[in-house]
Structure 1
Amino acid sequence: MEKVFDSGDFPARDALAAWAEVTRHAVMPTAFRLVDIDTFAGWFKTMPLGPAQVSAMSYSSFRTLRTPRLIHASDPECLQIALPRSGSHVLEQNRCQVPAEPGQLLLFDSSRPFEGYADGEALLIQLPRALLPLPAPRVERLTARALPGDEGVGLLLATFLTHLAEDTTRYTPQDAARLGTVGLDLVTAVLAHHLDRESDVPADTRQRALFLRVTSFIQRHLGDPALTAEGIAAAHHISVRSLHRLFQQHGVSVRSWTRARRMEHCRRDLADPAKRHLAIAAVAHRWGFPRPADFTRAFRALHGITPSDYRDRAHSRGTESGTYSGTESGTHGRPGPGATAPRAPNRRC
């Protein structure tokens, strides 16, 4: 994500006006008024994902208002889903007022007036309403409602947003476009679930959302050596044949995908100085390899070096995330988001 605003870059008296200007371009025009404080403190980061956009923000107490006049002046015709991470958040839209706890999802519409109170931190995904393959009148029923973000597809969306906010990877434009498709699929799946309109969702969107649910389930159970295709399929109420077909559509098998994730977690733990005290067998067992000899053979076949040698060389070179293959070792560290002078980003919706 790119940081486009930091209140510390402005005189205290100008910080709120600068925040309003940046969010006007990045999200939509709204009016702000401080609550029980004299100066505004906060920051704003954003990441374009094709036609969609994900943002992370922190702010001190304010009330926000989007009036018919502001909508007439500029309307990106977007839907937004906010994920509060801390503090207090209240939204009123369509004559409904709802407080949202951290971890809940809150849907609102740029084309309708709203009023809100916010204090803390939140993540936000916004996307053009026209891209959502669900009837607009039905989606409207979910505005200003707190939806669970700690279970099912809601948890998938919350995890997706959190990962993008915390990840320091620099994605290519092609990566960003694909991630935008993932975001749209997850938003569609969340709303369709709560509207009981899964049948309205296009088949390819349902398949992509199912793949995300299945892979998320596998990630949570990597440490279980008894994890099987049969168990994965049963947990998602599909046949084993359908499960294999789902992974084949992504060019991998269930076994190879699972094994690759287990091996990568083991590699990271071996290269982590904070886990140097763990025996290699304990690292392997933690990620679903109950037999140390099997793990050693698999690791050597993949990286061309034993786990113990990999650990020694990774630590001697002072890296926590380097990969090693054959006789070459490299790091994948990347610089974090820039904290340069703020600027208004292009609107992505």
Structure 2
Amino acid sequence: MLHRDVIDTELLPPGERFGMWLDLVARTAAPLRMRSAHADDFAARAEIIGLGPIQLVRYRYPSLDAVRTAKLARQTEVDYFLLALTTTGTGASGQAGRHSVVGPGEFTFYDGSRPHEVSHLGEDDGRASASSIVALIPYGALPLPPERLAPLLAGRMSGTEGVGALLAQYLVQLTGAPEQYHAADADRLGAVGLDLISTLLGRHLVAEDEVPREVRRRALLSQVRGYIQRHLGDAALSPQRVADAHHVSVRTLHRLFESEATTVAAYVRDLRLDRCRRDLADPASAHRPIQAIAARWGFPDQAHFSRAFRAAYGTTPQAYRAEHGEQARIVNRTASTINSGPTY
């Protein structure tokens, strides 16, 4: 699974918690002057995940105000941008003469090296904790020159529509369940996140031509894959429907998949077969008819499903279920024997 560092101030006595948090922020983001009405008992948590070119931090903390002064900016070097998604509470930021207030599901962007100010008020007028997910992006990782990014500093960007929604879903899913992903995929997952971030920033600059074509291609491919996975159960899912949903031609959609060594139809079919295979091997689905499992994943024609399954896995759905059901029963009996131990 992906490696995750967890820092929880509640493991320390109340009087030491705020100092620990100040040190954590200085090490993972940027040294800041920070104040909070909850400084005497600062119950907070940070989960840090490294993904090759970027780092993600999932924060939960009491309401706070922070500022990176010009003096701190001169004294400490920071070489990355920060893109913050507010998940609960109300955030505010200011940098380079711009200010914005963001609510849940909205992004703000700033340069960690330059003076800036941030605050976050928790829900219920600050009585509840606030939370956010922050992406730390090294200088040079973005395919956009720093001077082009200046208009976005302390700006406000939606995380509920378009590429912003896709990026927000990516951040929430990945930081919320990192155990679902393999450590070997960290670099690739980071590259996907960086592509989405680059595309979001490019769109808000109203300068899509600033984003390299390959980055736009990979970002669109991620959107298409996500759409297909969400609609696998729709038997009417077709290349035309996928293309229409993304405002591109079917020809463009097919070209998108050429470098993936597959076709749109094959990608949909393989995903559906894999979902069916998982359900057939899952003891929790043993009571469900094979036809119902097939229909759930977009195969309304049982004969067609059986032919496709046999071509993919070299056996029939019935035989596959029987084989893996027996394996599950053997494993369960073995586990039961081990757990019961000897009796005297």
- Structure 1 length-normalised TM: 0.81
> How much is the aligned-residue C-alpha RMSD, in angstroms?
2.6
Alignment of 1:129-144 (within 5 A): 129-144=139-154
CA distance in 2: counterparts of 1:11 and 1:197, whole angstroms: 50
> What SS class does the counterpart of residue 137 from structure 1 fall into?
helix
Question: Which residue matches 1:170?
Answer: 182
Question: Number of aligned pairs?
Answer: 318
Give SS of 1:250's match. coil
Instruction: Verify the 8 A CA contact 1:93 1:144 in the aligned structure 2.
Output: yes
> Structure 1: which amino acid aligns with 2:149?
V
Q: Residue 5 of structure 1 corresponds to which residue in structure 2?
A: 7
Counterparts of 1:8 and 1:281, CA distance in 2: 51
Asked if the contact 1:93–1:113 (Cα under 8 Å) also holds between the matched residues in 2, the reply is: yes
Match of 1:259 in 2: 269
Aligned partner of residue 38 in structure 1, secondary structure = helix
Please tell me whether the aligned partners of residues 53 and 141 of structure 2 are also in contact (alpha carbons under 8 angstroms).
Answer: no
Write out per-residue CA displacement over residues 57-115 of structure 1, whole angstroms, 9 at most, x where no aligned residue.
21122222211122222232211111122233222223333222221122121122222
CA distance in 2, matches of 1:304, 1:19: 56
Give the superposition deviation at 1:22. Answer: 1.9
Q: Deviations 1:135-182 (Å, cap 9, x if unpaired)?
A: 43342222222211121111121122122212312312xx32222222
User: Which of the residues 29, 37, 49 maps onto 2:31?
Assistant: 29
- Contact persistence 1:15–1:40 (CA under 8 A): yes
Structure 1 residues 271, 74: CA separation in 2 closer, same or farther (over 3 Å shift)?
A: farther
Asked which structure has the greater CA Rg, the reply is: 2
Question: What is the one-letter code of the residue matched to 1:97?
Answer: H
Partner of 1:342: none
> In the aligned structure 2, how far is the partner of 1:155 from the partner of 1:138?
23
C-alpha contact (below 8 Å) 1:37/1:61 kept by paired residues: no
1:237 deviation in Å? Answer: 3.4
Change (3 A) 1:167 1:278: farther
Q: Take 1:272 and 1:32, find their aligned partners in 2: how far apart are those partners? A: 50
Paired AA for residue 288 in structure 1:
G
Specify the SS of the correspondent of 2:226. Answer: helix
Tell me how far 1:14 sits from its aligned partner.
0.9
Aligned match of 2:235:
225
Q: Which amino acid aligns with 2:152?
A: L
State the partner residue of 2:64: 62
Could you tell me how far apart the structure 1 residues matched to 2:32 and 2:323 are?
54
CA distance in 2, matches of 1:313, 1:122: 46
Query: Is the counterpart of residue 49 in structure 1 residue 51 in structure 2?
Result: yes
Once the two structures are TM-superposed, the CA of residue 202 in structure 1 deviates from its matched residue by 1.2
Once the two structures are superposed, residues 256-313 of structure 1 have per-residue CA deviations (whole angstroms, 9 ceiling, x without a partner) of 2112222233344445566566544333222211123332443344345554565576
User: For residue 203 of structure 1, what is the aligned residue in structure 2?
Assistant: 213
SS in structure 1 opposite 2:40? Answer: coil
Find the aligned partners of 1:312 and 1:306 in 2 and give their Cα distance: 10
